[in-house]
Amino acid sequence: MITHTKLLMMVAGATAIALPILVGCSKQAPAPTPTHDEHAGHTAELPTSFAAGVAQLNDLQEKIAHLIEHNELADVHRVAEEMAIVARKMKELAARDVSDDNRAEAGRLCNEIAGYFHPIDEAADAGKKDETMAIHMKMVETVGKLDALSKK
C-alpha cells in the first residue's frame, strides 16, 4: 500500500528527474527570421529583392488571369491577398534596391498593387467576372510599371 509520504517522495523524485530535461529543452536556438508572411491562414513567400518581387507579382497576376478565365472567382481572394503581401514587402526592399530618384514611385506603385486587393476581392466574391477582369488589367499595368522600375 502506498502511503501519503511515499507518494510525495515519488512525485518529488519524478520532478527532480523531469525538471532538468524540461529546462534543457527550453534553451533551444532562436527561430530563423521568416521568409514568409502568414495572414488569414495563408502563407506568402516573401521576396528577397525588388526584382524577385516583381517576378513574383507577375506569376501571381498570371494565376489571377487563369482563375478569372476559368470562372474560379472564389479563388481570386487568396492570390490577390498574396499579391498585397508581396507588394508591401517590396516597398521595404525598394529602399535598398531602387535608385533614389525612383524610390517614391516604386513605393506608390507597391501601395497601388496592395490597394487593389479589396476591390478585386469584392468583385470576385460577387461573381462579377467583367469587373474582376477590369481590376486585374489595372493590376497588370501597375506590375508592368514596377517591372520597368526594377530595370533602371
Given this model, what pLDDT does residue 14 score? Answer: 53
Distance CA 89, CA 97 (A): 12
Query: What number of other Cβ atoms are within 10 A of residue 11's Cβ?
Result: 10
Is 68's pLDDT higher than 90? yes
Look at residues 64, 59, 52 and name the one whose alpha carbon lies nearest to residue 132. Answer: 64
Q: What is the CATH number of the domain that holds 71?
A: 1.20.120.290
Given this model, what pLDDT does residue 43 score? Answer: 54
Look at residues 48, 49, 54, 47 and name the one whose alpha carbon lies nearest to residue 149. Answer: 54
Backbone region of residue 39 per phi and psi (left: phi > 0; alpha: psi in -120 to 50; beta: other values):
beta
Given this model, what pLDDT does residue 151 score? Answer: 82
Decide if 128 is inside a domain.
yes
Across the chain, mean pLDDT equals 80
Model confidence pTM above 0.85: no
Decide if 26 is inside a domain.
no
Distance CA 22, CA 47 (A): 37
Given this model, what pLDDT does residue 39 score? Answer: 44
Decide if 50 is inside a domain.
yes
Average the pLDDT over 20-29 and give the result.
44
> CB of 85 within 8 A of CB of 57?
no
Query: What angle separates helix 76-97 from helix 129-150, to the nearest 10 degrees?
Result: 20
- For 30, the 3-state DSSP assignment is coil
Question: Domain limits at 59?
Answer: 36-150
Percent of all residues in the chain with a pLDDT value above 70, rounded to a whole number? 71
Is 32's pLDDT higher than 60? no
Is 79's pLDDT higher than 50? yes
Given this model, what pLDDT does residue 86 score? Answer: 94
How sure is the predictor about 33, in pLDDT bands with cuts at 50, 70 and 90?
very low
Task: Indicate the residue type of 54.
Answer: V
What domain count does the chain have?
A: 1
Is 27's pLDDT higher than 60? no
